[in-house]
Amino acid sequence: MDVDEKRGIITAYNERFLFIPTKLIHAIEDRMSESFGAATATSFVYEIGKEGGLQYIRIAERAGFKFRNFQDLKAAAERLGTLAGWGKVDVVEFNQQKKMVRLRWTDGVSVRSKKGKIPVCHFGRGILTGAIQSILGTDCESLEVLCQGKGDPYCEAIVGVPDEILRLANSHSN
């Protein structure tokens, strides 16, 4: 990471980054919820995150990260998640055949209390979904099945092809 104090810019992996307080992310989440309602806000933040995830993988590939197998993915998630301050990210399952990835993380930026009723990591989940989508080369959606924001010990999301995630979401809500 390079801080150019004269120009006021931060660069890493040949890309300009912005060092922003997590409270700014919270303000975006809150403002969107107030203006558009929780469901729309969730979808907005998730889709914006997805775009970010695509960008992260583009940067990672340029920086020499490989995504050929489970070990590659695990190493990249651990390193990139931590470096960018998103929290500790771990890949627990990578099924290339089924195009399904199970990820766990702790200390996600959107977790503000542990007493919620539903998962809260829409932004982070979006980033991970966009990243996996880029790696698998196919459209992906995701479902956060565990979340520290509702008192679970860690957050866990399943990322996969839209049909499969929809099926999973339906079976979870029943």
Sites of contact with Zn ion (CB under 5 A): 108, 121, 147, 155
**115-to-3, 23, 87, 102, 127 alpha-carbon distances in Å:** 38, 19, 19, 24, 24
Q: Give the burial class of 171: count Cβ atoms within 10 A of its Cβ; 0-12 exposed, 13-18 middle, 19 or more buried.
A: exposed
Please say which residue, 73 or 157, places its beta carbon nearer to Zn ion: 157
- Dihedral sign for Cα 131, 133, 136, 141, please: positive
Q: Whose Cβ is closer to Zn ion: residue 121's or residue 143's?
A: 121
Q: How far is the CB of 110 from Zn ion (least distance, A)?
A: 7
SS3 80: helix
Query: Which residue, 100 or 121, is less far from Zn ion as judged by CB?
Result: 121
In whole angstroms, the minimum distance from the beta carbon of 111 to Zn ion comes to 6
Cβ neighbours of residue 44 closer than 8 Å, sequence gap 6 or more? 32, 36
Of the pair 87, 160, the CB lying nearest Zn ion is at: 87
Least distance to Zn ion, CB of residue 158, Å:
13
Q: Which of 144, 139, 138 is nearest to 158 (CA)?
A: 144
CB of 84 to Zn ion, least distance (A): 17
